[in-house]
């Protein structure tokens, strides 16, 4: 932007408010997991994976013992002036991502053939394309966002600079990423903000088979801020419809609390409960993939089935819940530390492919080199308790030992040493 502002048309660029910027993001890790199959690997979990991704369900460093181009991102945007109540304003954002991380951000119907059709390791995803219309006369200001945008709740977000750490929590990995629709954010007063919107659901384009894949989905969220902005509570029903199984058709309910401890320490805590009804039972041999030769198939390609309690059920209710806490200390202008602890209960194995509950613990360091490079090393340990495939007895060939989740089903625990680097331009 400095080059553009200093060029022949610099004054036009400044007056337009349009900015072009982005970053290059590479990450690597050493892991106790590997990239080989044990013959019982759960390599069909969504996003579509093969046995190269042995760190899964960790994200986004899912390829063990490797260095990867995670996300190379370009932004073109104009931000509306929402810190005023005297004139209408507008804005837009076009954000494109290329790299390994597209495997998690892809929405069915938006360049999704790269992942769902070809299972390409690296791909391209226009993760945000939207327009903002700001109406200052509505309450103390209302923004109307139209297009594809990041899902409203969560401490974390898909794009690397919007997170404390390189890797993501399990809580974030398995909830809604993006939606395509219309959302309004209205500031009622200095304490209350309300959000209401409509979309076809999570990670689905509105033109994808309305009724079977795309579902008319509402969202409603409320934020309350008090104690001189030292405490903030955010309650959100991010996706509300029938909750019947479709492509990532999660009905999800969130509660988030942000708390400022002092000038250098703060805490962020989030919990959610989500579910899908009538989820196909992967333990039933008569449940087939749509397009297969099985009579009356119900399993949608790329949409997880559940590990129900027995082999006779065709479908079952598939809920899960999770809670994560971040404790952050800003040491100085160039350094901060992150401590993350969480629990995640995949009650029917519908999110990870393995039924069980997980804990994850992380210690990370963020270090700025100048103002354009961010270095984020971390150490992370996670474990799955009582893992199983939802069966009354272990599957053949497992020597009466229930499978794990990490290292393609070989391990119950995983230790990773990882880091990424973000270069901003």
What is the domain count for the chain?
1
8 Å CB contact between 424 and 372: yes
pLDDT value of position 389: 66
361: Cα within 13 Å, side-chain hemisphere? 5
Beta-bridge partners for 373: 369, 423
C-alpha pair distances (Å), 352 with each of 101, 163, 226, 313, 315: 17, 22, 37, 20, 17
| Structural domain boundaries, residue 132 | 2-424
Place of tokens 């990239």: 35
Q: Which residues make Cβ contacts (< 8 Å) with residue 235, sequence separation at least 6?
A: 221, 222, 223, 254, 255, 256
In whole angstroms, give the CA distance from residue 395 to residue 384. Answer: 18
In whole angstroms, give the CA distance from residue 41 to residue 404. Answer: 9
DSSP per-residue codes, 94-126 = EEEEEETTHHHH--BTSSTIIIIIT--SSEEEE
In whole angstroms, give the CA distance from residue 45 to residue 54. Answer: 12
Cα torsion 371, 373, 377, 378: sign: positive
In whole angstroms, give the CA distance from residue 85 to residue 92. Answer: 19
8 Å CB contact between 329 and 322: no
Determine if residue 240 is left, alpha or beta; phi over 0 gives left, psi from -120 to 50 gives alpha, anything else beta: beta
Extract the tokens encoding 134. Answer: 């700001």
pLDDT value of position 393: 47
Count of Cβ atoms closer than 10 Å to residue 159 Cβ: 21
pLDDT value of position 133: 98
Give the N- to C-terminal CA distance of the chain in Å, as an integer: 9
Q: pLDDT of the chain along its 425 residues, tens only?
A: 989 999 999 999 999 999 999 999 999 999 999 865 443 344 444 443 457 889 999 999 999 999 999 999 999 999 999 999 999 999 999 999 999 999 999 999 999 999 999 999 999 999 999 999 999 999 999 999 999 999 999 999 999 999 999 999 999 999 999 999 999 999 999 999 999 999 999 999 999 987 789 999 999 999 999 988 899 999 999 999 999 999 999 999 999 999 999 999 999 999 999 999 999 999 998 888 877 777 778 899 889 899 998 888 999 999 999 999 999 999 999 999 999 999 999 999 999 989 999 999 999 999 999 999 999 999 999 999 988 766 544 444 444 345 678 988 888 999 999 999 999 99
pLDDT value of position 293: 73
φ, ψ (nearest 5 deg) of residue 286: -90, 0
pLDDT value of position 285: 85
206-233 tens-digit pLDDT: 999 877 899 999 999 999 999 888 999 9
pLDDT value of position 390: 61
244-300 tens-digit pLDDT: 999 999 999 999 999 999 999 999 999 999 999 999 999 998 888 877 777 778 899
Place of tokens 């404390």: 164
pLDDT value of position 180: 97
pLDDT value of position 210: 79
pLDDT value of position 69: 98
Pairing of strands 413-424, 123-135: unpaired
Pairing of strands 178-187, 192-199: antiparallel
With CA atoms as reference, report the closest residue to 241 among 211, 271, 221, 273. 211
With CA atoms as reference, report the closest residue to 67 among 34, 102, 123, 27. 27
Extract the tokens encoding 299. Answer: 């399993």
CATH number at residue 82: 2.40.160.10
């Amino acid at each position: 932007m400095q080059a553009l502002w200093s060029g022949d048309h610099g004054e036009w660029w400044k007056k337009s408010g349009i900015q072009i910027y982005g970053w290059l993001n590479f990450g690597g890790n050493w892991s106790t997991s590997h990239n080989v199959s044990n013959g019982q690997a759960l390599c069909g979990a969504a996003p579509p994976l093969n046995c190269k991704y042995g760190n899964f369900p960790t994200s986004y460093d899912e390829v063990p013992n490797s260095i990867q181009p995670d996300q190379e991102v370009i932004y073109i945007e104009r931000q509306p002036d929402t810190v005023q109540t005297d004139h209408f304003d507008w804005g837009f954002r076009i954000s494109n991502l290329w790299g390994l991380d597209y495997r998690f951000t892809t929405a069915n119907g938006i360049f999704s053939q790269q992942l769902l059709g070809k299972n390409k390791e690296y791909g391209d995803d226009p993760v945000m394309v939207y327009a903002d219309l700001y109406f200052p006369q509505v309450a103390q200001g209302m923004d109307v966002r139209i297009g594809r945008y990041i899902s409203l709740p969560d401490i974390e977000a898909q794009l690397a600079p919007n997170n404390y750490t390189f890797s993501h929590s399990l809580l974030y990995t398995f909830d809604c990423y993006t939606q395509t629709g219309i959302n309004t954010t209205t500031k009622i007063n200095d304490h209350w903000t309300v959000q209401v919107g409509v979309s076809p659901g999570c990670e689905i384009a509105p033109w994808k088979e309305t009724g079977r894949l795309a579902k008319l989905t509402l969202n409603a969220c409320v934020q309350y801020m008090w104690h001189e902005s030292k405490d903030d509570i955010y309650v959100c029903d991010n996706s509300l419809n029938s909750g019947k199984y479709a492509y990532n058709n999660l009905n999800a309910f969130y509660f988030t609390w942000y708390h400022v401890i002092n000038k250098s320490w703060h805490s962020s805590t989030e919990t959610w409960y989500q579910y899908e009804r009538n989820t196909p039972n992967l333990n039933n041999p008569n449940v087939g993939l749509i397009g297969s030769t099985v009579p009356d198939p119900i399993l949608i390609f790329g949409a997880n089935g559940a590990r129900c309690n027995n082999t006779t059920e065709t479908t079952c209710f598939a809920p899960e819940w999770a809670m994560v806490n971040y404790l952050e200390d800003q040491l100085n202008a160039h350094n901060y530390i992150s401590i993350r602890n969480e629990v995640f209960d995949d009650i029917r194995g519908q999110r990870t492919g393995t039924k069980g509950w997980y804990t994850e613990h992380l210690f990370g360091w963020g270090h700025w080199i100048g103002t354009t490079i961010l270095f984020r090393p971390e150490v992370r340990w996670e474990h799955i308790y009582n893992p199983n495939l939802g069966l009354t007895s272990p599957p053949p060939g497992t020597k009466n030992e229930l499978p794990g989740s990490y290292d393609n089903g070989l391990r119950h625990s995983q230790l990773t040493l990882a880091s990424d680097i973000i270069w901003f331009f």
